[in-house]
Amino acid sequence: MKNLSPMLNLFKSVAIMILVVLAVTFPGSSAECKMPGSVTLEGVITDGASAESVSGAAVSAGEKAVKSDENGRYSISGLMPGRIIVEIKKPGYETYSESIKVTKGSNSFNVKLKAQSSPSQAGLITEDRGGLAVKNSYEDLVQKSKERRQNYRRGSVSEKVAAADYKGANYIAGKVIDMASGVPISRAKIDIDGDVYFSDAAGEFISAPVKKAQCMIKADSPNYNAYESNIKITTGKNKLKILLMPLPENSMAYTGYDKGKIVEYSKFSQRYASVSGHVRDARTKNPVNNATVIVANKSVQTNPEGFYMVEGLAMGHADITIIAGSYGVYKGNLNLVKVSNLNDVALSMDERFGVISGTVVEKETGRPIHGAKIQVGNKIVVSDQYGSFTIKDVAYDYYNLIVEQKGYQRIEKALSVNQESITATVELADEYQSVK
């Protein structure tokens, strides 16, 4: 038995050498236990159109994968430094894939996902079949015209209109825009007398043929004030631009995320309204044409039917002034509590007059100009030695104030006579001041 000891020792030595060689040549499972990477990748996934966070998006980097949380945030640790491929998938969005370089420590990588382009409810149009509006599917459109279908599904609103432009049909084509930033709003909901449509990625939409002469239109989108208005329908295409104002958030800013940085977006508490109505003679009830209606800092003229509409007004109280020649000046106050407000006005034939007084001076020196001719309507006066003038009994209305004097440049300026006394200072420039 003692003779076996050397053999046993030799066998042990050979076995140890074999194990060492195998461990070096074939690492086996020991490679799986090497130290984890020292790289962390984190960021936020947002919707490229609305900047809203996207939750539940599958984010993979290298061999690791996680899902974004309810705020769109994700974090992947244990990555190795170098170049990796980041892939993001989410139903309803196009798959995002990009090769990026990461370094040791924390790496920020924010991503905006692009919504998949697909037919929406805004794609449905109707045909006039025996006086009835019947919605067609895309298959029906294909059977009628392949070219029409391609324009309808892939083209701009102008091409969609061409596709939907059936003989004798009246429809509404428009665009929904963020009033604060001017950016188009996608997937805004537009309700036209009960028929619902949605704006596309460019904020555009088109309705089915409309049979009514007047329609109630409502539009809303998450994080925006609702829009509501009555519009008259004319023959053919009716263009409509809808401006939506962001909802207030207790006058605080909210944060949106952009790739590689944080961008602050402000929300606004202001809502906008419109006021419309008719201006008529109080005695005869006849419409008053071409009357000037001023609400806040906006003004319009009445049409031959005496109708007016002022849009883009702030909600709340606003002054209204109507100037209508021999009717004098009407002043009142409005309380704009709704998006659309109605206000009819009856004017009495009570002509009022004002007095215009002022001074004509040299623009260069400020010295008074004697003998200048001042004309308002059919009334003409001449300035005295002090450059002063007075024009009496001027009916309330809008006029052009014309001032002329030999050796000076003629001047003409708009003047509103809407009170009993108006003061104006006129500066005349030397006719030859540009000649050297």
Nearest CA-CA partner of 275 in 298, 304, 257 = 298
Question: Where is the domain boundary, 324, 347, 370?
Answer: 347
Choose between 436 and 202: higher pLDDT: 202
**pLDDT tens digits, residue range 11-69?**
666 666 666 555 545 544 433 333 456 889 998 899 888 888 899 999 988 788 899 99
Looking at 59, 85, 113, which one is the last position of a domain? 113
* 194/327 same-domain check: no
Is 13 domain-assigned? no
Question: Do 340 and 249 fall within a single domain?
Answer: no
Model pLDDT for residues 354-384, shown as the tens digit of each residue: 899 999 999 888 899 999 999 998 899 999 9
The verdict on 231 and 147 lying in the same domain is yes
* 279 lies in the same domain as 407: no
Same domain for 109 and 242, yes or no, is no
> Strand 397-404 to strand 340-342: parallel, antiparallel, or no bridges (unpaired)?
unpaired
- Does 234 share its domain with 183? yes
Tell whether 11 is covered by a domain.
no
Name beta bridge partners: 189: 198, 220
Summarised one tens digit per residue, pLDDT across range 80-132 is 888 888 889 998 888 888 878 888 888 888 888 988 865 444 333 333 333 33
pLDDT tens for residues 183-240?
888 888 899 888 888 888 788 888 888 877 788 888 888 878 888 877 778 777 788 8
Query: Dihedral angle at the C-alpha atoms of 408, 410, 414, 419, nearest 10 degrees?
Result: 50
Location of structure tokens 């308002």? 376
Domain count, the chain: 4
* Residue 151 is assigned to a structural domain of this protein: yes
Q: Which of 210, 232, 265 is the last residue of a domain?
A: 265
Structural domain boundaries, residue 324:
272-347
- Residues 177, 230, single domain; the answer is yes
Asked whether residue 132 falls in the same domain as residue 218, the answer is yes
Same structural domain for residues 128 and 224? yes
343 and 364 assigned to the same domain: no
Instruction: Looking at the structure, tell me whether residues 131 and 163 fall in a common domain.
Output: yes
pLDDT tens for residues 227-285? 887 777 877 778 888 888 877 543 233 334 333 433 333 333 345 788 999 998 877 88
CB 205 within 8 A of CB 217: no
253: CATH = 2.60.40.1120
Q: What is the pTM of this model?
A: 0.28
Residue 219 in domain: yes
